[in-house]
């Protein structure tokens, strides 16, 4: 997989990957995460990735698409979805089938009110749409199972698929170990390695978020990794 070339490029760009040994280990994963995201990844990110990634993937394109997608979703920093939408932002982002004009004005941020994040989450991820697409069948599920972690996992059904622990305590996806394990489990359960093998950023993105949100940046991040990790 030309890992030695990847390691040398990372060293040339100032990342500490140890020695050039052609092996994907903790330091190489840490350096790659920081290179593609432009962020300083939390301490231990590389160690955790080294524990779980080699069990889930083995091919260059699988790693490239995983790192690019996670970088876009969270910058390799576990986080909870920011629902601080303005009224105009809600209207521009979500269809009227998911949130009405009146709800945008009522819940969205404006000069005279803060965003009602709980109501926003329960509206855009709830109702018939949330039940059908996300498994959000209980009152409050929309906000409770808002996007979290490294791949911004959303919806009760997706949390349940990771395991009872995540469904009971969604904030596990905000811990270093939980966020990485959750992202990798989501990746494998959605069959994303097979899509990554086709080298189609659009197909991978569609499987992750059901659309093409952020597609241009996802493509740019994929190309950024390819530039230092040739076939």
The length of the chain, given as a count of residues: 231
The 3-state DSSP class for residue 200 equals: coil
| Mean pLDDT, residues 120-141 taken together | 98
pLDDT in tens, 42-55: 999 999 999 999 99
| Mean pLDDT, residues 186-191 taken together | 95
Which helix (H) or strand (E) segment is 148 a member of? strand 148-149
- What pLDDT, on a 0 to 100 scale, did the predictor assign at position 157? 96
- What pLDDT, on a 0 to 100 scale, did the predictor assign at position 211? 87
pLDDT in tens, 3-24: 999 999 999 999 999 999 999 9
222 and 61 in contact (C-beta within 8 Å)? no
Residue 15 CA to residue 89 CA, distance in Å, equals: 38
pTM of the model: 0.90
Q: Please say if the pLDDT value at position 1 is more than 90.
A: no
Residue 14 CA to residue 7 CA, distance in Å, equals: 11
């Amino acid at each position: 997989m030309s890992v030695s070339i990847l390691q040398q490029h990372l060293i040339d760009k100032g990342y500490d990957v140890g020695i050039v040994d052609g092996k994907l280990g903790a330091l190489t994963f840490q350096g790659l995460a920081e290179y593609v995201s432009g962020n300083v990844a939390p301490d231990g990110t590389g160690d955790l990735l080294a524990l779980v990634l080699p069990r889930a993937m083995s091919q260059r394109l699988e790693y490239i698409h995983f790192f690019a997608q996670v970088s876009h979703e969270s910058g390799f920093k576990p986080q909870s979805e920011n629902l601080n939408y303005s009224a105009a932002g809600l209207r521009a982002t979500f269809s009227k089938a998911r949130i009405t004009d009146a709800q945008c004005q009522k819940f969205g941020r404006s000069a005279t009110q803060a965003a009602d994040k709980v109501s926003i989450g329960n509206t855009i991820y709830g109702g018939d749409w949330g039940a059908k697409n996300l498994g959000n069948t209980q009152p409050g599920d929309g906000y409770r199972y808002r996007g979290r972690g490294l791949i911004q996992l959303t919806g009760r059904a997706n949390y349940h698929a990771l395991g009872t622990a995540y469904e009971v305590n969604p904030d596990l996806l905000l811990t270093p170990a939980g966020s990485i394990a959750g992202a990798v489990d989501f990746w494998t359960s959605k069959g994303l390695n097979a899509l990554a093998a086709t080298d189609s950023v659009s197909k991978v993105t569609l499987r992750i978020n059901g659309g093409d949100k952020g597609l241009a940046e996802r493509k740019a991040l994929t190309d950024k990794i390819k530039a230092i990790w040739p076939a």
